[in-house]
Structure 1
Amino acid sequence: MESQPLPRRRKPRRRLSRAQRTRAALGIAELHDGVAHRADLRTVGVTRADVRTEIGAGRWMTAGKHTVVIGSGTLTAEARHWQAVWESGSGAVLDGAAALVASGLSGFTPTRIDVSLPRNNRRHTVPGVVRHLRSTMPPALAVGIPRVKPEWATIHAAQWAVSDRQAALLLCLPVQQRLVLPERVLEAWRASSHGARHALLDVLVRDVCDGAHSLGELDFAGMCRERGLPEPSRQEVRRLPSGRVYLDTGWDDIALVVEIDGGHHAMALNPVDDALRQNDVVLSGDRVLRIPVLGLRLKPRAFLDQVVRAHQQAEAAAA
């Protein structure tokens, strides 16, 4: 009987030396601000046994099932973002304020990390991470840390904000910092389904992204009538040393002007032009109040109190 050849034994792979696996792991960790996914480590030859050795020696540490901290330091904010995506479940992406911060947002520090992931995927609880299970995932960016596109992240951040004031802030900052174009936020809002504080956000989004047209003079005139003030004039044209300017609203007989600033006023060089115009109006003898359009949405009573006081003072001065 003819003998069968013995199966060829697979030659065991030589394990990397400590120096080699350190270099390989650091190359991965540099891409993720100090952390590495176990699967990525294996692609560069760092085995499970290597990881166990380094963790046992206290040189590395774990931050979940998949996340390895290369070194024994604390996780940075960016590393926490990677951990949140890796540990929450397959297909997870940063969303809301966390996605905006990962895209470069400054001036706001989230107290939690929001992630979205497909509803049917297996998911895991991660401390400090809030999961949003979705039947249809929002559009996401493929470069860098997986995250929802800024226009959708802006809408979600405002919906998940802890207050109306924070919602307004999270709508303003991405637009003012040029992380997203206003028209894209408008498009995302129109395509979004109803969520938290929908009625307020419906006006706030238009105030921030189309502030020049969102609050008409008729709205402000109605607010004045409710406070017992005479109806102001609208869109007055003045000729000043700087040229012809358009003033939003005011009362000609008592030299009081009220400028309603939409979201576009804080962008680019608009503050410079606004300051020059206001200074010229003041130097011509008028009192000028500036009211951000968001102020009339969030604190209408406080701003109208100021308008009433200014009207009373201007009326007394004109008598």
Structure 2
Amino acid sequence: MSRDQLRQLRITDHEVLAHVHAGRWRPVHTQSLAVHTGPLPVLGQHWAAVFEAGRRGCLDGTSSLVAGGLEHFTEDVIRVSVPRGVLVRRATGIDVRQTRRLRAADLEPSGIPRTRPHVAGVRGALWAKSDKQATLILTMVVQQGMTLPERLGAELLTVRRDRRRLLVATVVTDLVGGVRSLGEHEFAQMCRLRRIPEPTRQVLRQGPDKKWYLDVYWEQWGVVVEIDGIQHAWATNVVADALRHNTIAIDRAIVLRLPLLGLRVAADDFFAQIIEALASRGCPMAVAS
């Protein structure tokens, strides 16, 4: 609870001090107290950060996403935004920053004060430690159904200047729907840079009762690479993708999966596997690479 809340309940500062000295309560930063002695849960840590920032503060970036339900992401610091000109208090584990881009429409209407997922997603990516983390944040937000890629795109249009704006725009474009064509185009360029024979793209193959298109295929050496965009992680595609994979494997082709995220953050590692697969099938240029 904040010190202001305790005063509103007519609990005096002397009573608070008595509880603290007795070991029943403990201070958290300068503006709040834990009214228990157990571990402070994430929600408690978030509230303490907001209390520290003041009445106009709100969770932002990845902290807002975690508070809103983002799973499998660990914060290294709690990010809180306040309007420009507001007094900023410093506390361990909290990053309070002033911003001009803080509108009432950006905030969730209930619960702990925090920005909406599409706002928090874009800001979290712009503030990320690395391009890899930025890409991961945007992907996770869409994968976990917290917002739509179109809303991320609309929010990005409000960002005029940022060193990572182009990267975020590229990832959001992938998520919106240009995944397949953009990924294959980049893949072909990367093959040329590594002097790997350029594969055939969008090859039609007939299964037992269905037709499939292979993303990229080196027919001479029997190596297939399936470029997986965000849609491949959705439940409705899991079974179809598995059936396609198995059908190709039965034809004795090597099938490698390349998440589009891999092209962004680990291209060299994936291409090392592709070169190894081609070399194992006798591709001379792959052996030379």
Class of the TM-score when normalised by the shorter of the 2 chains: 0.7 to 0.9
What letter corresponds to residue 54 of structure 1 in structure 2?
Answer: H
Is the CA contact 1:255–1:285 (under 8 Å) kept in the aligned structure 2?
yes
- Aligned twin of 1:9: none
CA distance in 2, matches of 1:83, 1:60: 14
1:11 maps to which residue? none
* Structure 1 residues 40-82: Cα deviation after superposition (integer angstroms, max 9, x where no partner): 3344443445434433433223224431221233422211110
Measure, in 2, the Cα distance between the counterparts of 1:233 and 1:213: 14
SS in 2 for 1:210: helix
CA change 1:278–1:125 in 2 (3 A) is: same
TM-score by length of 1: 0.80
Q: Which moved further from structure 2: 202-211 or 182-191?
A: 202-211
> Corresponding residue for 1:122?
87
Aligned to 1:156: 123
Moved more, 93-102 or 56-65: 56-65
Q: Distance in 1 between matches of 2:280 and 2:21?
A: 75
Consecutive unaligned residues of structure 1, counting only runs of 5 or more, are 1-35
User: For 1:166 and 1:52, how far apart are their aligned partners in 2?
Assistant: 43
Gap change, CA 1:53 and 1:229, over 3 Å in 2 = closer
Distance 1:258 1:72 in 2: 55
Please, which moves more after superposition, 258-267 or 67-76? 67-76
Determine helix, strand or coil for the equivalent of 1:215. Answer: helix
Structure 1 position 40 matched with structure 2 position 5: yes
Q: Partner residue of 1:33?
A: none
- The Cα shift of 1:179 comes to 1.7
**1:312 is matched with which residue?**
279
Pick closer, same or farther for the CA change 1:79–1:214 going to 2, 3 Å. farther
Q: Which residue is equivalent to 2:265?
A: 298
Cα deviation 1:7-32 (Å, max 9, x = unaligned): xxxxxxxxxxxxxxxxxxxxxxxxxx
Residue 144 in structure 1 maps to residue 111 in structure 2: yes
Which of 194, 197, 201 is residue 230 of structure 1 equivalent to?
A: 197
Aligned to 2:287: none
CA shift for structure 1 position 114: 0.6
CA distance in structure 2 between the partners assigned to 1:58 and 1:298 by the alignment: 49
Of 10, 35, 53, 1:88 maps to: 53
Q: In 2, are the aligned partners of 1:155 and 1:189 still within 8 Å (CA)?
A: yes
Aligned match for 1:72, one of 27, 37, 52: 37
- Give the Cα–Cα distance (whole angstroms) in 1 for the partners of residues 108 and 39 of structure 2: 27
Q: Does 1:182 align with 2:139?
A: no
TM-score normalised per structure 2:
0.88
Provide the C-alpha distance between the structure 2 equivalents of 1:47 and 1:160, rounded to a whole number of angstroms: 40
8 Å contact kept, 2:183–2:260: no
Separation (CA, whole Å) in 1 of partners of 2:57 and 2:252: 59
Counterpart CA distance in 1 for 2:207 and 2:156 is 40
TM-aligned CA distance change 1:85 to 1:196, over 3 Å: farther
RMSD of the TM alignment (CA)? 2.3
Q: Residue type of the partner of 1:277?
A: R
Question: What's the counterpart of residue 31 of structure 1?
Answer: none
Question: Offset at 1:193?
Answer: 3.0
Distance in 2, Cα, partners of 1:253 & 1:226:
21
2:23 to 58, 65, 79: 58
Moved more, 297-306 or 258-267: 297-306
**1:287-307 CA distances to partner (integer Å, 9 max, x unpaired)?**
211111121122222222322
Rounded Cα–Cα distance in structure 1 between residues aligned with 2:272 and 2:17: 66
Q: Residues 113 and 242 of structure 1: is their aligned pair in 2 closer, same or farther, counting only changes over 3 Å?
A: farther
Aligned equivalents of 2:45, 2:29: Cα separation in 1: 11
The answer as to whether partners of 2:218 and 2:224 remain within 8 angstroms in 1 is: yes
Deviation at 1:234, TM superposition (A): 1.8
Would the alpha carbon gap of residues 225 and 84 (structure 1) be closer, same or farther in structure 2, given more than 3 Å must change? Answer: same
Aligned to 1:199: 166
Residues 80-117 of structure 1: CA deviation (Å, up to 9, x unaligned)? 11011111233111111111110111111111011110
Query: Which blocks of at least 5 consecutive residues in structure 2 are unaligned?
Result: 285-289
Contact 1:90–1:123 under 8 Å retained in 2: no
Specify whether residues 254 and 63 from structure 1 end up closer, same or farther in structure 2 by C-alpha distance, changes over 3 A only. Answer: closer
Larger Rg computed on CA atoms: 1
Report the number of matched residues. Answer: 282
Q: Is the 8 A contact 2:173 2:179 kept in 1?
A: no
